[in-house]
Amino acid sequence: METRRELLDLVRAARAHLEALADSGVEQLPGRLPSVAAKATPRTRAPVESAPLLVPVAPAPAPSSGTTRPPPIEALAATPRVGASAPPRRVLSSEERRRQLQVLSDEVASCTRCPLHATRTRTVFARGNPDAELVFVGEGPTREDELQGEPFVGPAGELLDKMIGAMGCGRDDAYIMTVVKCRSFEPADPTKDRKPDAGEMAACRPFFDRQLELLDPSALVGLGATAVQALTGSTTPITRLRGTWRLFKGRVPLMPTFHPAYLLRSPDKKRDVWDDLKQVMQRLGKDSSPKDR
């Protein structure tokens, strides 16, 4: 008796399922049950060719209005990695990352790929912790940076360190690097720094890309228009780019903001930068409220 009741229950469940499919306009089932589906119940809907889809298809997004604003970071974060050969994140051990960065730094130190090699006294590779989740990127070494062999060590660097400290980060929580590794200066005044030009940045690009690939950070902060342009390829003014998340190479969240040197000239913009850095802190799971100011 028990077995018979179970069989009846199974038949009822199967019948209810088939009726539901037929009500949805499904005429045949794939695989081994087409005839059963066809006989389950008289078809009362239009043929399957003209029947409505079981799952409504969302309308296509409206064409872009021409705005350059990127999609929200939540959507960007779901973007698949670019390039089939992209390695999984944090695939390198700390030791291996440091070893490979040292090899790259040695390669940079003997580089003659662009004219800046002829006037440098030394290359400037980076400072900070290579294992840090957060990487700051500037445009190139200044005179002070070249003298000391580390990026962001002058007044702008001191302000950057204060900003990083205000984020609740210590010395081991950030890594600081530049797009080019040799100092560029005005030919008429060798004491005056200048922005690296497009050719110099293009020549140094393989080092820059490899360095970021090895670092594999959780977030990037682009400091100033030149660095942000190198990271994004966008020529949109930094005043419009800052404060909005972008993606570097389709997968690393990038926050563009003003360069600390600009803040020294325009201290009223510090509030904007702090707002940008608070977004970075939130993305890294840090509490931004106690140091809000």
* Contact residues for ligand SF4, defined by CB under 6 A: 108, 111, 113-114, 116-117, 123, 180-182, 200, 203-204, 207
Which residue, 123 or 279, has its beta carbon nearer to ligand SF4?
Answer: 123
Placement of tokens 């030394």 in the chain: 122
Which residue, 151 or 253, has its beta carbon nearer to ligand SF4?
Answer: 151
Facing residues of 177 across strands? Answer: 126, 137
Cα–Cα distances in Å, from 260 out to 49, 62, 72?
Answer: 63, 39, 26
Closest CA to 134 of 98, 163, 94, 176: 176
Q: Are 256 and 246 in contact (CB under 8 A)?
A: yes
Q: Which residues contact 169 (CB under 8 A, 6 or more apart)?
A: 134, 286
Which residue, 136 or 207, has its beta carbon nearer to ligand SF4?
Answer: 207
Which residue, 108 or 132, has its beta carbon nearer to ligand SF4?
Answer: 108
Which residue, 92 or 179, has its beta carbon nearer to ligand SF4?
Answer: 179
CB of 111 to ligand SF4, least distance (A): 3
Structure token digits, residue 178: 């530049």
Closest CA to 215 of 242, 271, 176, 273: 176
Closest CA to 96 of 109, 87, 85, 108: 87
d(CA 276, CA 292): 12
Q: Which residues contact 34 (CB under 8 A, 6 or more apart)?
A: 28
CB of 196 to ligand SF4, least distance (A): 7
CB of 203 to ligand SF4, least distance (A): 4
Which residue, 160 or 203, has its beta carbon nearer to ligand SF4?
Answer: 203
